[in-house]
């Protein structure tokens, strides 16, 4: 039998800084050690989990001294559910490290000449800022390590002690790194009420009526998910996802929720018999209301249907889009190409100062929403097209719609495909506004665009307080021939 290696423990290590993806770092004998669940300024005993020549990964075994920067998290689930990573830091410190993350990525990865990076635009509201949350109903509760240890110790001391029964069912968030267990949530502070009240009422209805809650591993159970959207207009959409059709029971459930929460403007249900939780290939059915809600950014109205993508923080989206509009330097004469346009929100937001908006997006449902949103705002000079930018943007397309004067691109976390970067270099628009939710992949793409473009402005915007995520807007201008 192979002898198990003795774990490597490092004592009294000072956590020095933050690294990527919310991990902290320390340096021991010239080696960088990446650490989860620690704050710069903490002094910890570390267990090494992985060790390479120049770097290692570790976890705190014991906190010798806590950082002076630490504050008490406001959520009882912090550290277990994984929805927030930075509640133990004051918001000003969160912004400091997010700014640093942008600066590090821009300088270390892009390696191109940079202007001064503007100070991050923070959020005025740092709690209850999300317009959308999704909870999972489950019959198996994730037990945190500390709680599990206590239960085990009690069992060893009192073997005859009866087991604490698991709840018949509850709703919460998937536990980080554990696919078949869910963290039971009492109060989530990320969305305003009646979110928690609605979630608890659905779970209570299930318990009272002895309904089955979803078992992720066995793929059984009637109550699966609930998706709640609350717009700044006050409109509320609730979509309850069920494992199979049961007309009598679903009518009772939906009727009960509607009676308890008359402020719900749209109530839907979706039948999902699949193994995964995505609803994008399913058809939600309307029980009450018009089937969508309307969100407002400045004077612009946006229809949000159950499957629509929309920026999750509406108030900060206004700030983000205002930066994009300012960086576009529009004067009413330009043709603007809005790439990865989604439901058309950025293009519509900048439309008053553009001659023409051309939106391109792969997802057909999103383009249908974009067209409806343009009509809702009486915008006749915006056109939206389904397809891949690399395929669509050819000479025939330019002949029909005009070459771009300004390109706004807002890709997913993976950044732009290299083919698209090459296409942008071919298109050679005088100005590009690059909106990103991942400054690392944005910096990689900036290095590729450096062939023809110079970076002229950079503005980070915090969309998600208490998380490690940061949005970043970059303005690039076509190099002039020297």
Give the integer Cα–Cα distance in Å for 56 and 50. 5
Q: Give the chain's radius of gyration (CA, Å).
A: 25
What six digits make up the tokens of 194?
């009646």
Which residues, in sequence order, are CB contacts of 363 under 8 Å at separation 6+? 309, 342, 386
The span from the CA of 323 to the CA of 77, in Å, is 34
Active-site residue identified among 81, 84, 188, 437:
437
Distance in angstroms (rounded) separating the CA atoms of residues 450 and 458: 15
Give the whole-angstrom CA distance, residue 22 versus residue 37: 9
Contacts of 274 (CB under 8 A, 6+ apart): 282
CA gap 350, 332 in Å, rounded: 10
The DSSP bridge partners found for residue 14 are 43
Residue 341 is a catalytic residue: no
CA atoms within 13 Å, Cβ hemisphere of 316:
25
Of 394, 393, 404, 395, which Cα lies nearest the Cα of 478? Answer: 404
398 sits in which H/E element: helix 395-401
CA dist., res. 332 & res. 52, Å (int): 56
Single out the residue of 229, 47, 67, 72 nearest to residue 135, CA to CA.
Answer: 229
Residue 124 burial by Cβ neighbours in a 10 Å radius (0-12, 13-18, 19+): exposed
The helix/strand/coil state of 375 is: helix
Q: Write the DSSP symbol of residue 353.
A: G
C-beta separation of 456 from 115 below 8 A: yes
How many CB atoms neighbour CB 424 within 10 A? Answer: 27
Strands 293-297, 285-288: pairing is unpaired
Count, in order, helices (H) and strands (E) of the chain.
11, 22
* Cβ(302)–Cβ(311) below 8 Å: no
198 close to 84: Cβ distance less than 8 angstroms: no
Instruction: List phi, psi (to 5°) of 167.
Output: -65, 150
Write out the catalytic residue numbers: 437
């Amino acid at each position: 039998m192979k002898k198990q290696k003795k774990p490597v423990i490092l004592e009294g290590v000072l956590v020095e800084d933050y690294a990527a993806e919310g991990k902290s770092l320390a340096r021991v004998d010239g080696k960088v050690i990446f650490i989860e669940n620690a704050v710069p300024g903490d002094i910890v005993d570390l267990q090494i989990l992985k060790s390479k020549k120049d770097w290692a990964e570790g976890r705190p075994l014991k906190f010798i001294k806590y950082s002076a920067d630490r504050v008490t998290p406001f959520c009882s689930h912090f550290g277990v559910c994984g929805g927030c990573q930075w509640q133990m830091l004051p918001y000003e410190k969160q912004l400091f490290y997010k700014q640093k993350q942008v600066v590090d990525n821009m300088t270390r990865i892009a390696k191109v000449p940079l202007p001064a990076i503007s100070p991050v635009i923070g959020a005025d509201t740092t709690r209850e800022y999300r317009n959308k949350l999704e909870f999972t109903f489950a019959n198996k509760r994730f037990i945190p390590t500390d709680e599990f240890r206590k239960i085990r110790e009690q069992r060893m001391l009192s073997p005859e002690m009866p087991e604490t029964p698991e709840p018949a069912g509850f709703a919460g968030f998937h536990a980080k790194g554990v696919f078949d267990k869910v963290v039971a949530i009492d109060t989530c502070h990320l969305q305003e009420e009646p979110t928690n009240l609605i979630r608890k009422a659905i779970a209570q209805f299930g318990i009272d009526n002895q309904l089955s809650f979803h078992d992720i591993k066995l793929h059984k159970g009637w109550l699966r998910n609930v998706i709640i959207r609350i717009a700044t207009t006050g409109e509320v959409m609730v979509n309850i996802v069920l494992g199979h059709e049961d007309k009598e029971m679903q009518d009772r459930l939906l009727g009960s929720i509607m009676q308890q929460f008359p402020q719900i403007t749209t109530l839907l249900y979706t039948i999902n018999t699949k193994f995964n939780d995505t609803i994008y290939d399913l058809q939600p059915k309307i029980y009450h209301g018009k089937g969508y809600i309307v969100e407002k950014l400045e004077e612009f109205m946006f229809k949000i249907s159950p499957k629509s993508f929309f920026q999750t923080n509406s108030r900060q989206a206004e700030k983000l889009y205002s930066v994009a509009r300012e960086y576009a330097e529009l004067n009413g004469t330009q043709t603007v190409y809005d790439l990865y346009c989604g439901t058309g929100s950025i293009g519509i937001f900048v439309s008053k100062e553009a001659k023409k908006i051309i939106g391109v997006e792969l997802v057909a449902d999103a383009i249908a929403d974009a067209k409806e949103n343009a009509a809702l705002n009486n915008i006749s000079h915006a056109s939206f097209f389904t397809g891949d930018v690399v395929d669509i943007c050819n000479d025939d397309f330019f002949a029909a719609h005009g070459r771009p004067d300004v390109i706004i691109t807002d890709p997913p976390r993976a950044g732009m495909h290299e083919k698209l970067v090459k296409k942008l270099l071919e298109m050679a628009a005088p100005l590009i506004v690059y909106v990103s939710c991942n400054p690392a992949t944005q910096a990689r793409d900036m290095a590729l665009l450096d062939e023809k473009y110079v970076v002229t402005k950079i503005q980070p915007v915090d969309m998600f307080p208490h998380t490690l995520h940061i949005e970043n807007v970059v303005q690039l201008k076509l190099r002039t021939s020297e």
